Protein backbone atom coordinates (compact mmCIF):
# COMPACT_ATOMS: atom_id res chain seq x y z
CA UNK A 1 0.00 0.00 0.00
CA UNK A 2 1.59 3.23 -1.17
CA UNK A 3 1.54 6.25 1.13
CA UNK A 4 -0.20 9.22 -0.50
CA UNK A 5 1.78 12.45 -0.45
CA UNK A 6 1.27 16.05 -1.51
CA UNK A 7 3.15 15.39 -4.74
CA UNK A 8 0.54 12.76 -5.65
CA UNK A 9 -2.13 15.47 -5.40
CA UNK A 10 -0.38 17.54 -8.07
CA UNK A 11 0.04 14.47 -10.26
CA UNK A 12 -3.68 13.74 -9.95
CA UNK A 13 -4.57 17.23 -11.18
CA UNK A 14 -2.05 17.02 -14.00
CA UNK A 15 -3.51 13.67 -15.09
CA UNK A 16 -7.14 14.80 -14.71
CA UNK A 17 -7.92 12.36 -11.87
CA UNK A 18 -10.32 13.68 -9.21
CA UNK A 19 -9.28 13.93 -5.55
CA UNK A 20 -11.58 12.80 -2.69
CA UNK A 21 -11.18 14.28 0.77
CA UNK A 22 -13.30 13.66 3.87
CA UNK A 23 -12.95 14.83 7.44
CA UNK A 24 -12.27 12.48 10.35
CA UNK A 25 -11.77 13.20 14.02
CA UNK A 26 -11.07 9.77 15.49
CA UNK A 27 -9.09 6.63 14.81
CA UNK A 28 -12.03 4.36 13.95
CA UNK A 29 -13.47 6.56 11.19
CA UNK A 30 -9.94 7.26 9.91
CA UNK A 31 -9.36 3.49 9.60
CA UNK A 32 -12.55 3.12 7.57
CA UNK A 33 -11.67 6.00 5.23
CA UNK A 34 -8.13 4.71 4.86
CA UNK A 35 -9.42 1.22 4.04
CA UNK A 36 -11.50 2.84 1.26
CA UNK A 37 -8.26 4.36 -0.12
CA UNK A 38 -9.46 7.94 0.28
CA UNK A 39 -6.69 10.29 -0.84
CA UNK A 40 -6.93 12.92 1.91
CA UNK A 41 -8.24 12.84 5.47
CA UNK A 42 -8.79 16.33 6.85
CA UNK A 43 -8.87 16.75 10.60
CA UNK A 44 -11.05 19.83 10.29
CA UNK A 45 -11.65 22.42 12.96
CA UNK A 46 -15.27 21.47 12.17
CA UNK A 47 -14.51 19.09 15.08
CA UNK A 48 -15.82 22.04 17.12
CA UNK A 49 -19.28 21.88 15.54
CA UNK A 50 -19.75 18.18 14.90
CA UNK A 51 -17.88 16.54 17.80
CA UNK A 52 -17.44 19.08 20.61
CA UNK A 53 -20.95 20.60 20.40
CA UNK A 54 -19.75 24.18 19.83
CA UNK A 55 -21.73 26.76 17.83
CA UNK A 56 -18.81 27.52 15.50
CA UNK A 57 -15.13 26.71 15.00
CA UNK A 58 -13.71 29.77 16.78
CA UNK A 59 -13.15 28.25 20.25
CA UNK A 60 -11.19 25.23 18.91
CA UNK A 61 -7.61 25.21 20.24
CA UNK A 62 -4.31 23.78 19.04
CA UNK A 63 -4.51 21.30 21.94
CA UNK A 64 -7.98 20.15 20.74
CA UNK A 65 -6.57 19.69 17.24
CA UNK A 66 -3.49 17.76 18.40
CA UNK A 67 -5.72 15.38 20.40
CA UNK A 68 -7.85 14.56 17.34
CA UNK A 69 -4.99 14.60 14.81
CA UNK A 70 -3.11 11.99 16.88
CA UNK A 71 -6.15 9.70 16.87
CA UNK A 72 -6.66 10.08 13.12
CA UNK A 73 -2.98 9.47 12.38
CA UNK A 74 -3.17 6.22 14.38
CA UNK A 75 -5.92 5.07 12.04
CA UNK A 76 -4.31 6.10 8.76
CA UNK A 77 -1.65 4.17 6.91
CA UNK A 78 -2.17 5.40 3.38
CA UNK A 79 -4.14 8.65 3.28
CA UNK A 80 -2.52 12.07 3.41
CA UNK A 81 -3.49 13.56 6.79
CA UNK A 82 -4.08 17.33 6.79
CA UNK A 83 -4.71 19.23 10.04
CA UNK A 84 -6.67 22.46 10.22
CA UNK A 85 -4.91 25.33 11.96
CA UNK A 86 -7.51 26.66 14.42
CA UNK A 87 -8.54 30.31 14.80
CA UNK A 88 -5.76 32.53 16.25
CA UNK A 89 -3.08 29.86 15.86
CA UNK A 90 -1.69 31.55 12.71
CA UNK A 91 -3.25 35.03 12.49
CA UNK A 92 -0.95 36.82 14.96
CA UNK A 93 2.36 36.46 13.12
CA UNK A 94 4.27 33.99 10.94
CA UNK A 95 6.46 32.96 13.92
CA UNK A 96 3.42 31.90 15.90
CA UNK A 97 2.05 30.11 12.82
CA UNK A 98 5.31 28.19 12.42
CA UNK A 99 5.31 27.18 16.09
CA UNK A 100 1.70 25.95 15.97
CA UNK A 101 1.99 24.21 12.61
CA UNK A 102 5.14 22.56 13.98
CA UNK A 103 3.13 21.21 16.93
CA UNK A 104 0.48 19.75 14.61
CA UNK A 105 3.20 18.05 12.56
CA UNK A 106 5.63 17.00 15.34
CA UNK A 107 3.18 16.09 18.12
CA UNK A 108 0.07 15.35 16.09
CA UNK A 109 1.75 13.55 13.22
CA UNK A 110 -0.08 15.47 10.46
CA UNK A 111 1.64 15.73 7.09
CA UNK A 112 0.22 19.10 6.07
CA UNK A 113 -1.81 21.93 7.56
CA UNK A 114 -4.78 23.95 6.27
CA UNK A 115 -5.02 27.70 6.67
CA UNK A 116 -8.04 29.89 5.90
CA UNK A 117 -7.53 33.12 3.94
CA UNK A 118 -6.30 34.52 0.62
CA UNK A 119 -4.13 37.61 0.20
CA UNK A 120 -4.30 38.16 3.96
CA UNK A 121 -2.78 34.71 4.59
CA UNK A 122 -0.09 34.95 1.93
CA UNK A 123 2.74 35.78 4.33
CA UNK A 124 1.83 32.92 6.68
CA UNK A 125 1.44 30.36 3.87
CA UNK A 126 4.86 31.41 2.50
CA UNK A 127 6.49 31.22 5.95
CA UNK A 128 5.19 27.66 6.46
CA UNK A 129 5.97 26.52 2.91
CA UNK A 130 9.51 27.92 3.25
CA UNK A 131 10.17 25.59 6.21
CA UNK A 132 8.76 22.63 4.26
CA UNK A 133 5.40 22.41 5.97
CA UNK A 134 2.94 21.72 3.14
CA UNK A 135 -0.04 24.07 3.26
CA UNK A 136 -3.56 23.65 1.92
CA UNK A 137 -5.28 27.02 1.40
CA UNK A 138 -9.00 27.68 1.98
CA UNK A 139 -10.94 30.57 0.44
CA UNK A 140 -14.56 31.53 -0.19
CA UNK A 141 -16.73 30.79 2.82
CA UNK A 142 -14.10 30.62 5.55
CA UNK A 143 -15.88 29.57 8.77
CA UNK A 144 -13.30 31.32 10.97
CA UNK A 145 -14.50 34.63 9.40
CA UNK A 146 -18.13 34.05 10.44
CA UNK A 147 -18.40 37.39 12.25
CA UNK A 148 -17.06 39.40 9.27
CA UNK A 149 -19.24 37.49 6.78
CA UNK A 150 -22.35 37.88 8.99
CA UNK A 151 -23.07 34.15 8.86
CA UNK A 152 -22.35 31.20 6.60
CA UNK A 153 -23.09 32.70 3.16
CA UNK A 154 -22.14 31.92 -0.43
CA UNK A 155 -19.14 34.09 -1.41
CA UNK A 156 -18.24 35.50 -4.82
CA UNK A 157 -21.67 36.29 -6.26
CA UNK A 158 -20.98 40.03 -6.60
CA UNK A 159 -18.41 41.18 -9.18
CA UNK A 160 -16.13 42.80 -6.58
CA UNK A 161 -16.19 39.57 -4.51
CA UNK A 162 -15.46 37.54 -7.65
CA UNK A 163 -12.39 39.64 -8.43
CA UNK A 164 -11.26 39.38 -4.82
CA UNK A 165 -11.56 35.59 -4.78
CA UNK A 166 -9.60 35.31 -8.03
CA UNK A 167 -6.85 37.45 -6.46
CA UNK A 168 -7.01 35.38 -3.25
CA UNK A 169 -6.60 32.12 -5.17
CA UNK A 170 -3.57 33.45 -7.05
CA UNK A 171 -2.04 34.71 -3.78
CA UNK A 172 -2.45 31.30 -2.12
CA UNK A 173 -0.75 29.55 -5.04
CA UNK A 174 2.00 32.19 -5.24
CA UNK A 175 2.71 31.71 -1.51
CA UNK A 176 3.47 28.03 -2.10
CA UNK A 177 0.31 26.15 -1.09
CA UNK A 178 0.05 22.64 -2.56
CA UNK A 179 -3.75 22.79 -2.93
CA UNK A 180 -6.70 24.99 -2.08
CA UNK A 181 -10.22 24.44 -0.74
CA UNK A 182 -12.96 26.51 -2.41
CA UNK A 183 -15.99 26.68 -0.11
CA UNK A 184 -19.48 27.91 -1.09
CA UNK A 185 -18.57 29.78 -4.27
CA UNK A 186 -20.57 29.77 -7.53
CA UNK A 187 -19.66 26.81 -9.77
CA UNK A 188 -18.62 29.07 -12.67
CA UNK A 189 -16.16 31.00 -10.51
CA UNK A 190 -14.75 27.76 -9.05
CA UNK A 191 -14.25 26.49 -12.61
CA UNK A 192 -12.42 29.71 -13.56
CA UNK A 193 -10.15 29.45 -10.49
CA UNK A 194 -9.52 25.74 -11.17
CA UNK A 195 -8.49 26.52 -14.76
CA UNK A 196 -6.24 29.41 -13.79
CA UNK A 197 -4.32 27.64 -10.99
CA UNK A 198 -1.66 24.96 -11.38
CA UNK A 199 -2.37 23.51 -7.91
CA UNK A 200 -5.46 21.35 -7.31
CA UNK A 201 -8.71 22.94 -6.10
CA UNK A 202 -10.91 20.96 -3.72
CA UNK A 203 -14.51 22.11 -3.64
CA UNK A 204 -17.24 22.08 -1.04
CA UNK A 205 -20.32 23.77 -2.42
CA UNK A 206 -18.24 24.88 -5.41
CA UNK A 207 -19.63 22.76 -8.24
CA UNK A 208 -18.36 19.80 -10.18
CA UNK A 209 -15.44 21.42 -12.01
CA UNK A 210 -13.02 21.50 -9.05
CA UNK A 211 -10.11 19.05 -9.09
CA UNK A 212 -11.55 17.30 -6.04
CA UNK A 213 -14.39 17.37 -3.52
CA UNK A 214 -14.55 17.42 0.26
CA UNK A 215 -17.38 16.82 2.73
CA UNK A 216 -17.60 16.73 6.50
CA UNK A 217 -17.96 13.03 7.36
CA UNK A 218 -20.86 13.62 9.81
CA UNK A 219 -22.84 15.36 7.02
CA UNK A 220 -22.26 12.46 4.62
CA UNK A 221 -23.28 9.89 7.25
CA UNK A 222 -26.38 11.73 8.52
CA UNK A 223 -24.86 12.42 11.94
CA UNK A 224 -25.02 16.19 11.96
CA UNK A 225 -28.50 17.07 13.19
CA UNK A 226 -31.11 19.04 11.33
CA UNK A 227 -28.99 21.84 9.81
CA UNK A 228 -27.95 20.73 6.33
CA UNK A 229 -26.40 23.23 3.88
CA UNK A 230 -27.51 22.89 0.23
CA UNK A 231 -24.10 21.53 -0.80
CA UNK A 232 -24.27 18.53 1.53
CA UNK A 233 -25.22 15.16 0.09
CA UNK A 234 -26.28 12.78 2.83
CA UNK A 235 -25.42 9.27 1.67
CA UNK A 236 -26.93 7.49 4.69
CA UNK A 237 -29.08 8.42 7.73
CA UNK A 238 -27.06 6.90 10.58
CA UNK A 239 -28.81 8.92 13.28
CA UNK A 240 -32.06 7.01 12.72
CA UNK A 241 -30.24 3.68 12.55
CA UNK A 242 -28.42 4.42 15.83
CA UNK A 243 -31.65 5.50 17.55
CA UNK A 244 -33.33 2.29 16.43
CA UNK A 245 -30.46 0.19 17.83
CA UNK A 246 -30.44 2.09 21.14
CA UNK A 247 -34.23 1.69 21.53
CA UNK A 248 -33.97 -2.02 20.79
CA UNK A 249 -31.20 -2.37 23.40
CA UNK A 250 -33.28 -0.54 26.04
CA UNK A 251 -36.30 -2.65 25.22
CA UNK A 252 -34.30 -5.86 25.52
CA UNK A 253 -32.85 -4.74 28.87
CA UNK A 254 -36.41 -4.20 30.16
CA UNK A 255 -37.67 -7.54 28.86
CA UNK A 256 -34.49 -9.45 29.89
CA UNK A 257 -33.90 -10.53 26.30
CA UNK A 258 -30.40 -9.12 26.63
CA UNK A 259 -27.98 -10.55 27.71
CA UNK A 260 -28.89 -13.96 26.31
CA UNK A 261 -27.03 -17.15 27.22
CA UNK A 262 -24.47 -16.56 24.46
CA UNK A 263 -23.53 -13.21 26.02
CA UNK A 264 -23.17 -14.67 29.51
CA UNK A 265 -20.48 -16.71 31.30
The three-state secondary structure class of 161 is helix
The residue of the chain with the least Cβ separation from ligand KIV equals 44
Looking at the Cβ atoms of 186 and 205, the one nearer to ligand KIV is: 205
DSSP annotation of 256 reads T
| Known catalytic membership, residue 183 | yes
The catalytic position among 183, 252, 256, 262 is 183
Looking at the Cβ atoms of 104 and 160, the one nearer to ligand KIV is: 104
**Under 8 Å CB-to-CB from 133, ≥6 apart: which residues?**
98, 101, 102, 105, 112, 113
CB of 239 to ligand KIV, least distance (A): 19
CB of 87 to ligand KIV, least distance (A): 11
DSSP annotation of 58 reads T
**Dihedral Cα 159, 189, 172, 214, nearest 10 deg:** 140
Cα distances (angstroms) measured from residue 189 to each of 2, 116, 159, 261: 34, 18, 11, 62
Looking at the Cβ atoms of 22 and 171, the one nearer to ligand KIV is: 22
Burial 213-230 (b: 16+ CB within 10 A, else e): bbbbbbbbbbbbeeeeee
Looking at the Cβ atoms of 13 and 138, the one nearer to ligand KIV is: 138
> Rounded to 5 degrees, what are φ and ψ at 179?
-170, 170
CB of 86 to ligand KIV, least distance (A): 9
CB of 82 to ligand KIV, least distance (A): 9
CB of 248 to ligand KIV, least distance (A): 32
User: Where on the chain is the footprint of ligand KIV (CB under 6 A)?
Assistant: 23, 42, 44-46, 84, 138, 181, 204, 214, 216
Largest separation between any pair of C-alpha atoms in the chain: 71
The terminus-to-terminus CA distance of the chain in angstroms comes to 41
Catalytic residue annotation = 183
Amino acid sequence: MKKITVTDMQAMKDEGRKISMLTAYDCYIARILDACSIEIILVGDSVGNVVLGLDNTLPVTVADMVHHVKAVVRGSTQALVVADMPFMSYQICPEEAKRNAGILIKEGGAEAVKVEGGENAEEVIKALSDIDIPVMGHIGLTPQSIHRMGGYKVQGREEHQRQKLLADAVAVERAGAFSIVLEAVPAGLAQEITRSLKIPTIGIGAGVHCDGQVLVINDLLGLAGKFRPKFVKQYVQLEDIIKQAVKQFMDEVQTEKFPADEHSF
